[in-house]
A and B are shown apart, each in its own frame.
Chain A
Amino acid sequence: MKPGIDDQSKPQTMIQEKYTKRYQNLKVAEALSNNHFYPFACNELSSIIDLGYSQLPKDLKAFIFRDCLSAFRLLPEMNTSAAVSAANLLVKSVESAFPKQKKNLAIVEFKQAKVALKRRTKSHDEHIDLPSLPQDILVHIFSFLDVSSLLSSSQVSRSWNQATSEGSLWRSLFDLHFSHKVLIHIYPGIDWREAFKNEYILYKSSKMLRSGRGYCSYCDSVVWHDNLRCPKKQCRLKSGKKPLDLMLTHQVVNYLLGTTSSSDESDSEDEAVRGLWAYPTLQ
């Protein structure tokens, strides 16, 4: 063993391991099998591929490739158009960045998934009448939903629309998202939905929620947030009502690759956001 060569290769492999370890900590693969996180995970993969595939160490490339394949394989089970969109986007990233052989394999997998998906949607054609749920049950069900799902539900039908206008739903959402940073004057007859909406726009929540990611200071890691909280129980207990710091996808990619690229969004608002990229060095 020549000591000179060893010394040279060691730091390199250490760096490589660091990236791979970070990637594994991100738990992208697990998220893919979850119905709720699948679109987020696909988007993250797309971003990682777009922003830095060529720089990745070899074994990390292999992981990414493997995860892309499993993303396509899992697509038929995800029965939403959001999932299909995300997969389409992923395929486009794959097309532009992957080397020929891997690209072809991935595309084959994707096409198979599309076929399976088509078959699935065809088999669902029973026209039964479902019993209509009473309003208070609907409200109870909606109390478990996140903002986007709640708004989707409000557009479904008249009875659902009525149920979504229930103030308590919006109040608890307001609490969840903003109570730690907004003081609100509560008066009788307050329209919680309006209040929520105003804060939502003000804090650009729609942008921040796009990634599904947050940074938990208690476990010092980038996690898939579960309703704005860390999925780990201890962290939830410690943090109480305080939600996670939400992260944007490009910030997650920056963390993974150790880069400082900003997102496509050029607005000067990014000034504030860019400062967040430098999370304490995570292993």
Chain B
Amino acid sequence: MSESDMAIIKPEMMKSYIWLETSDGSIQQVEQEVAMFCPFICHQVLQKGGGSSKNNAISLPQKVNPAMLSLIFDYCRFHQLPGRSNKERKVYDEKFMRMDTKRLCELTSAADSLQLKPLVDLTSRALARIIEGKTPEEIREIFHLPDDLTEEEKLEPLKNTMDDPRIRLLNRLYAKKRKELKEREKLKSIEVEEHVDERSVDDLLSFINGRDHKVVNTSKRKKKTKKRKEHKNGTCKVSNKDSHNLHSKQRSVDETSFSLGGVSNLHNIEDDIFSRKAEFEDGYIDDEIDPALKEMLDREVEDFARRLNSSWVLSVGQERQPVHFSINGNGDTRRLTGKEGGGDEWFDFSSVTLGEASDPPEYDKVPSDREELVLDVPSSSSTSLFTFELPLSISELELLREDTSR
């Protein structure tokens, strides 16, 4: 306070109290040093001469109710004493911040309207710590906020404007795998042998990932070889499903490749492989799966993967390397169903929520659970906090829908 300010203040006020009126009409008095710690009150006293008497009480902003006011003054009372060490203040602050979220919010508002910046900082940090690491659902629950965004709006900031058609193809294949998984989930409750199909999903996925079967977790591999054996001994019925799946996958991959049009590199490669496959498809009317045929297809799929990866590396250039793709085998209904805006995103929130890969283990079930659902090799860690995917335009999305509805 400057000299002139001191002159304005009547000497009686030096040791007295300041009168304040809260939003609910109640009037109270507070020690001057404490109250003056708040810039708002300070201004009011100095510039408008308020708070000198009961009739002349300073009316506080709406957001400050009596409970919050007393909290704030506790804070002020502690901190306005210059004699306190930094450590003491820190300890006090830690303790002070321990309250439920509701009070924390109220306190933040109140402190903000009284312009008490240090307290605003403190409460903001505390709130940030609460928000950190939580999914939108959880945050909504804690803060009792309404879910008033449309699906479109939620994903609006996540839209990616990358345009590479190869990426789109892969994205489409990914989306396909996801849908198939979902269907499989439903069928699972009906058919127990369903899990045998998983292997073909894995294969196709591995080709997408360009995954070398060597570079795999040993435990996973063991499970895989187990499945391979099971598969070979499979029944006719089972192999039916499997072949049908392969069928539809190939068909859809075919289509997506043809719809790409202007991608010269990829198109040629795909043409090669898929034209050969088409031959098999035509003669593939009977339902028995030929293990030799399957092996051949597997090899071709891997070949395609390798070529895809290599051509991608070449064309994109030296500084950049193939962007890593990952999917989560979960929670995609939110993104793909009933949306016109397309699945454009670079940030997959379904990964932040409980994933299928991270479902609580059911101790009676076959341990292959974990494997078949984890499509995404790298983020087999369920807390893949971040995964991203590349855009699907509206037309592509529709194409996908067509395919799967067949």
B-contacting residues of A (Cβ < 8 Å)? Answer: 35-36, 39-40, 42-43, 46-47, 50, 79-82, 84-86, 88-89, 91-92, 95-96, 107, 114, 124, 127-131, 133-134, 136-137, 140-149, 151-158, 160-161, 164-165, 193-194, 197, 200-202, 204-207, 209-210, 249, 262-269, 271-272
Contacts and interface: CB of A to CB of B under 8 A. Distances in A.
Contact of B358 (A86, A107, A136): A86
Contacts of A197: 160, 346
Given A157-B140, A161-B149, A263 B378 contact: yes
A276 to B, nearest CB: 14
Nearest to A124: B141
Interface string B120-143: 110011011101111111111101
A151 B160 CA distance: 14
5 contacts: A40-B383, A86-B381, A92-B361, A129-B144, A267-B309
B257 interface: no
Contacts of A42: 383
A interface: dominant SS = helix
Given A85-B358, A131-B63, A272 B135 contact: no
B153 interface: yes
B interface: dominant SS = loop
Query: Lowest 8 CB-CB distances: which A-B pairs, in order?
Result: A206-B386, A144-B128, A85-B358, A85-B382, A155-B136, A39-B383, A269-B321, A265-B378
A206 B378 CA distance: 12
A158 B148 contact: yes
Contacts of A153: 131, 136, 139
Given A89-B358, A201-B346, A262 B215 contact: yes
A114 B360 CA distance: 9
A271 B390 CA distance: 23
Nearest to A82: B383
A128 B134 CA distance: 20
Nearest to A147: B386
Contact of B381 (A137, A143, A155, A210): A210
A264 B367 contact: no
Given A43-B383, A207-B324, A144 B124 contact: yes
Nearest to B121: A140
A201 B388 contact: yes
Contacts of B105: 130-131, 133
B217 to A, nearest CB: 6
B120 A140 contact: yes
Contacts of B128: 141-142, 144-145, 149
Interface string B219-260: 100000000000000000000000000000000000000000
Nearest to B222: A96
